[in-house]
Structure 1
Amino acid sequence: MKKADLKNFLDQKVEQYNQFSFIAHDPIAIPHRFSKKEDIEISAFLVATIAWGNRKSILTNANKLMSLMDDAPHDFVINHEVNDLEKLSSFVHRTFNGDDLLYFISALKNIYQNHAGLESVFSLKSTSKSTQAAITHFKKIFFELPHLQRTEKHVSDPSKNSAAKRLNMFLRWMVRKDQGSVDFGLWDTIATSALSCPLDVHSGNVARKLGLLKRKQNDGKALTELDKTLRKLDPLDPVKYDFALFGLGVFERF
């Protein structure tokens, strides 16, 4: 397929899937329940953290997690008392357990009280070309409190050749200005042009079949390769093609 034909094909698929109807059965449905900026970004971050595995299970556990936080994630993070945390200890999603969640709550409180919030931390190391150094910086700040070593595996690090799929998805949600009313576009301090595609099995396989990606592993090097290709198709909004790759892979079995 010629480059112009490929771009037209992918643009059509973006238009097809980047619609309000996409929200209902996607993890992004959870932060769409909120209107306050801090509630949206905290719920989005936590939901993105557990967004792997069966989508029905993700949504079930994400809704359970919001309920455990009294459906007020920012207020819970900032104002919880010790006895409020007891109910979180039983939470489990695959390998993410109550110990991990308890640390995440304390780390988020530290970020909002001492680092001006999630947007501020991610923005500090973002450039007009990449957010990958920003993700590495975020992980450093996130784990500056005493913690169990096991919990670190739930926050990816691009400097260790991770594709950081879930954090790149979270950043897409927060940054991208979306005509389809799916992504929030809450953060003006990070350029949409710097965003990276959330690379996973589905998007990776479709990208390879379309000739957008050659590397076989879904790692940091593959993400860099895919970034370069997608930015040639749309330098200002390359991550919009996540809708096309995901839709083709999950809904059309491309």
Structure 2
Amino acid sequence: MNQTELKDFLDQKVLQYNTLDFIESDPVQIPHLFSQKEDIEIAGFLSATIAWGNRKMIIKNSRKMIDLMGNSPYDFVLSHSENNLEQLDSFVHRTFNGQDFISFIKGLQHIYKNHGGLEAVFTKNQETDSMQKSISEFKKIFFEMQLQNRAQKHISDPMNGSAAKRINMYLRWMCRQDNKGVDLGIWKNISPSLLSCPLDVHSGNVARKLGLLTRKQNDGKALAALDIKLRELDANDPVKYDFALFGLGVFEGF
């Protein structure tokens, strides 16, 4: 398959999977529950954080997180009491437990009260060709009041070689201007051209079979290589191909 054929093939797969039907089985449905900007971005951030493992369980536990916050994420983050936080202690999703949840609420409160909110932090540290340094700086700011904290392992750092799959997925949700209604696109200060594909075992395997990726590990170096290839296919919206790679891998067993 030459470059033109590959682009045509993947563009067709984007059209096939980037539809409202995709929301029904994907954690992106969680931020879609809300209309206020801050509720959307907090609900999205928390659900993306636990987005590994069985997708039905991810959605179930994401909804549980929202329920524990009284279905008002932004109000809870800003105004919670110690008693409210104690209610979170029973939460568990794989290795993300109640204490991690509490740490994330404290980190989010710090972001909103002292740094202008999630969008402001990611926007401030973006580079001209990538969001990976921005993700790394976000992690530092998020935990700067909680330096000795086991919850830090739940946010990957691209500067340490990680592909940071979950937070790249979150940035796709927040920044990508999607006329199909899947990605929310509520952040207007970060260009979708800077986004990276959420690289995991499914998208990685499909990318290798299509010749988009040769590196065996799904790490930061592989992500950088995939970025180059996807931006050759569409410089303005490279991360739309996540729908194609993920759909081919998960739904078609490509």
TM-score computed with the length of structure 1 as normaliser: 0.99
Report Cα offsets for 1:181-228 as digits up to 9, x if no partner.
000111111111000000000000000000000000000000000000
User: Contact 1:111/1:118 (CA < 8 Å) preserved in 2?
Assistant: yes
Query: Quick check: 1:234 aligned with 2:234?
Result: yes
Q: Is the 8 A contact 1:156 1:164 kept in 2?
A: yes
Q: Which position in structure 2 is the counterpart of 1:144?
A: 144
The one-letter code sitting in structure 1 at the alignment partner of 2:187 is W
Match of 1:37 in 2: 37
- CA-to-partner distance for each residue in 1:70-126, whole Å, 9 max, x for gaps? 111000000111111111001000000011110100110010011000000001111
Give the corresponding residue for 2:120. 120
Segments of 5+ residues of structure 1 without an aligned counterpart are: none
Question: Which residue does 2:49 correspond to in 1?
Answer: 49
Counterpart Cα distance in 2 of 1:243 and 1:175:
15
Distance 2:198 2:165 in 1: 4
Letter in structure 1 aligned against 2:245: L
Residue 104 (structure 1) aligns with: 104
CA distance in 1: counterparts of 2:10 and 2:68, whole angstroms:
40
Amino acid at match of 1:204: G
Contact 1:19 1:181 survives alignment (8 Å): yes
Query: Equivalent residue of 2:25, what SS?
Result: coil
Matches within 5 A, 1:241-252: 241-252=241-252
**Whole-angstrom CA distance in 1 between matches of 2:2 and 2:194:** 25
Give the SS at the match of 1:167. helix
Does residue 172 in structure 1 map to residue 148 in structure 2?
Answer: no
Secondary structure, aligned partner of 1:249 = helix
Question: How many Å apart are 1:148 and its aligned residue?
Answer: 4.2
> Within the alignment, does 1:220 sit opposite 2:224 as a pair?
no
Question: How large is the RMSD of aligned CA atoms in angstroms?
Answer: 0.7
Query: 2-side partners of 1:98 and 1:144: how far apart?
Result: 20
User: 1:196 maps to which residue?
Assistant: 196
Aligned counterpart, 1:129: 129
Question: Could you say what secondary structure the match of 2:249 adopts?
Answer: helix
Quick one: distance in 2 between partners of 1:37 and 1:105? 17
What residue in structure 2 maps to residue 13 of structure 1? 13
* Distance across 2 between alignment mates of 1:151 and 1:83: 20
Contact map agreement 1:128 1:190 (CA 8 A) in 2: no
One-letter identity of the residue aligned with 1:82? E
Deviations 1:38-73 (A, max 9, x none): 000000000000000000110110111100001110
Q: State the 4+ residue runs in structure 1 displaced beyond 2 angstroms.
A: 146-149
The one-letter code matched in structure 1 to 2:8 is N
Q: Contact between 1:89 and 1:97, CA under 8 Å: does it hold in 2?
A: yes
Post-superposition CA distance 1:151-195 (Å, at most 9, x none): 111000000000000000000000000011000111111111000
- The percent identity for this pair of structures is 63
CA contact (8 A) 1:128 1:193 kept: no
Aligned residues: 254
2:58 matched to 1:58? yes
State the distance in 1 between where 2:141 and 2:156 align: 13
Letter in 1 for 2:36: K
* Structure 1 letter corresponding to 2:218: N
**1:147 positional shift:** 4.8
**In structure 1, what is the Cα distance between the partners aligned to 2:45 and 2:39?**
10
